[in-house]
């Protein structure tokens, strides 16, 4: 059963002002001060015991990059899950040769790259350690976080998060690389992926790679971009990566350029990840079981029911059935779960199973007759009987 009051509450609360603050970290690794933008959703204050997954956005010195991510989540997020978003700034300081490219790009191996880039490279290793040893611990200490972390990077930012996948594989769980520059240093990233052993990944990773019209046929500056990206995608599609990386790709070459692809890439990348992690039955149930086993969340009939409805509202009733069956296994004495199960089966046209589910809801409710006030009991019983009668003809 989906309660209308729950939906109305969600609509009402989602209109409240979101919270964004700026924090500064004195980094011993980078020998400089760095600024972070931190967003948390309305659920953070509304549910003070709840913990949240974290999305890390790079190039946050361009505020629109950070804002695009947390704003997009308002249209993709659900009632039960929401995200903290951390924007990591990479400022440009000419006097110290500091730039985003220095943060994002590994040390080049070719003299031509060294001459062309003029020192704007080589900091990726230190920058990843800055994240691992200073930023992530700071966020986890000061905010209510879950261990799942998502990285979003565009262009050289996409290069960097791919570098993190290979060199610090436990730093992030999901990688959304929008038009990544894999042509850097004559395809250094291609060689890195070829040499990478997927067995070094302790947990399965989600990887989204998109592209726009970055092709040498459109502009010379994109020389090698398409070819390098295609090589890496082919590597990740190899069967040896199958159990270690879930790969999704999106091609925007017919409609978007390197700049305009960011907002659409953010949308499709985040949607793909949310659908994969939170709206796929096997992934949802395994994920929340793991969190519960580690005492990071508490499962109950209400939130497990909502996990199922997140699938159902996303037009994935078959996935909702997987989740609701898992919920019923955990809470077999909760009549509302059987009613939800009946709705899901009815939606896919399996009226026989829907009828049985509604009958189970009635039978379980009868056992609680003495625990409910008479009016509440009669309202629920009439509702369940009406559902049973509708599919029982």
Give me the average pLDDT of each 10-residue run along the chain (393 residues): 45 59 96 96 92 97 97 81 94 88 93 75 94 98 97 98 97 98 96 95 96 87 94 95 95 96 98 96 97 96 96 96 98 97 97 96 92 90 94 77
| Domain contains 8 | no
Determine the Cα–Cα distance for residues 245 and 176; give it in Å rounded to an integer.
13
Instruction: Give the DSSP per-residue string, 207-260.
Output: EEEEE-S--TTT-GGGTTHHHHHHHHHHHHHSGGGTTTEEEEEEE-TTT--TTT
- In terms of domains, do 135 and 208 share one? yes
- Structure confidence at residue 206 (pLDDT): 98
- In terms of domains, do 70 and 125 share one? yes
- In terms of domains, do 112 and 68 share one? yes
| Domain contains 9 | no
Q: Can you give the CATH number for the domain in which 326 is found? A: 1.25.40.10
- Residue 147 to residues 19, 139, 374, Cα–Cα distance (Å): 21, 11, 45
- In terms of domains, do 58 and 192 share one? yes
- DSSP bridge partners of 23: 36
| Domain contains 40 | yes
- In terms of domains, do 328 and 191 share one? no
- Structure confidence at residue 41 (pLDDT): 92
Q: Can you give the CATH number for the domain in which 80 is found? A: 3.40.50.1820
The tokens for 391 are 């599919």
- In terms of domains, do 303 and 217 share one? no
| Domain contains 104 | yes
- Write down which residue in 245, 278, 311 finishes a domain: 278
When computed from its CA atoms, the radius of gyration of the chain, rounded to whole angstroms, is: 24
| Domain contains 359 | yes
Q: Is 230 exposed, middle or buried (0-12, 13-18, 19+ CB in 10 A)?
A: middle
- DSSP bridge partners of 16: none
Q: Is 98 exposed, middle or buried (0-12, 13-18, 19+ CB in 10 A)?
A: middle
CA 101 to chain centre: 25
- Write down which residue in 250, 278, 306 finishes a domain: 278
186 torsion bin: left (phi>0), alpha (psi -120 to 50), beta (else): left
- Structure confidence at residue 8 (pLDDT): 40
The closest alpha carbon to 205, from 158, 180, 168, 231, belongs to: 168
| Domain contains 64 | yes
Label the pairing between strands 174-178 and 205-211. Answer: parallel
- Number of helices followed by number of strands (H, E) in the chain: 17, 8
How many structural domains comprise the chain? 2
- In terms of domains, do 201 and 305 share one? no
| Domain contains 6 | no
- Structure confidence at residue 79 (pLDDT): 59
The closest alpha carbon to 365, from 391, 393, 387, 392, belongs to: 387
Report the SS3 class of residue 119: coil
Determine the Cα–Cα distance for residues 334 and 355; give it in Å rounded to an integer.
17
- In terms of domains, do 367 and 331 share one? yes
Please name the helix (run of DSSP H) or strand (run of DSSP E) that holds residue 287, with its range, or none. helix 281-293
- In terms of domains, do 144 and 221 share one? yes
- Structure confidence at residue 242 (pLDDT): 86
Residue matched to tokens 């890496």: 232
The closest alpha carbon to 160, from 136, 140, 179, belongs to: 179
- Write down which residue in 263, 278, 293 finishes a domain: 278
- In terms of domains, do 98 and 214 share one? yes
- In terms of domains, do 199 and 221 share one? yes
Determine the Cα–Cα distance for residues 85 and 20; give it in Å rounded to an integer.
9
- Structure confidence at residue 335 (pLDDT): 96
| Domain contains 75 | yes
- In terms of domains, do 48 and 136 share one? yes
The closest alpha carbon to 368, from 324, 331, 320, 329, belongs to: 331
Using an 8 Å Cβ cutoff, are 354 and 342 in contact? yes
How many C-beta atoms surround the C-beta of residue 44 within 10 A? 19
Q: Which domain holds residue 340?
A: 285-391
């Amino acid at each position: 059963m989906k309660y209308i009051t729950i939906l109305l509450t969600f609509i009402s609360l989602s209109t409240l002002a979101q919270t964004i603050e700026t924090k500064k970290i004195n980094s011993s690794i980078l020998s400089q001060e760095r600024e972070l933008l931190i967003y948390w959703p309305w659920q953070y204050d509304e549910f003070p015991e709840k913990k949240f997954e974290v999305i890390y956005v790079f190039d946050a010195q361009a505020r629109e990059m950070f804002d695009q991510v947390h704003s997009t989540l308002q249209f993709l997020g659900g009632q039960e899950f929401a995200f903290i978003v951390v924007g990591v700034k990479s400022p440009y300081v000419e006097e110290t040769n500091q730039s985003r490219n220095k943060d994002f790009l590994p040390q080049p191996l070719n003299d031509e790259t060294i001459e062309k880039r003029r020192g704007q490279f080589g900091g990726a290793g230190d920058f990843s350690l800055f994240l691992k040893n200073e930023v992530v611990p700071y966020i986890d200490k000061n905010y209510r976080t879950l261990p799942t972390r998502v990285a979003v990077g565009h262009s050289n930012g996409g290069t960097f998060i791919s570098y993190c996948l290979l060199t610090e594989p436990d730093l992030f769980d999901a990688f959304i690389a929008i038009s990544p520059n894999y042509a850097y240093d004559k395809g250094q990233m291609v060689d890195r992926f070829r040499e990478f052993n997927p067995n070094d990944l302790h947990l399965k990773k989600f990887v989204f790679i998109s592209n726009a019209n970055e092709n040498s046929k459109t502009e010379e500056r994109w020389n090698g971009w398409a070819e390098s990206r295609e090589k890496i995608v082919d590597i990740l599609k190899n069967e040896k990566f199958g159990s270690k990386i879930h790969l999704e790709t999106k091609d925007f070459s017919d409609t978007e350029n390197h700049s305009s692809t960011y907002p659409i890439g953010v949308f499709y990348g985040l949607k793909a990840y949310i659908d994969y992690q939170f709206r796929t039955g096997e992934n949802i149930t395994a994920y929340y079981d793991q969190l519960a086993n580690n005492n990071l969340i508490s499962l109950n009939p209400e939130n497990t029911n909502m996990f199922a409805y997140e699938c159902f509202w996303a037009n994935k009733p078959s996935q909702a059935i997987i989740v609701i069956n898992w919920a019923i296994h955990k809470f077999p004495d909760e009549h509302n779960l059987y009613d939800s199960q009946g709705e899901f089966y009815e939606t896919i046209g399996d009226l026989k199973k829907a009828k049985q589910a509604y009958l189970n809801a009635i039978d379980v409710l009868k056992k609680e007759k003495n625990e409910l006030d008479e009016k509440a009991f009669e309202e629920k019983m009439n509702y369940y009987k009406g559902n049973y009668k509708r599919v029982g003809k």
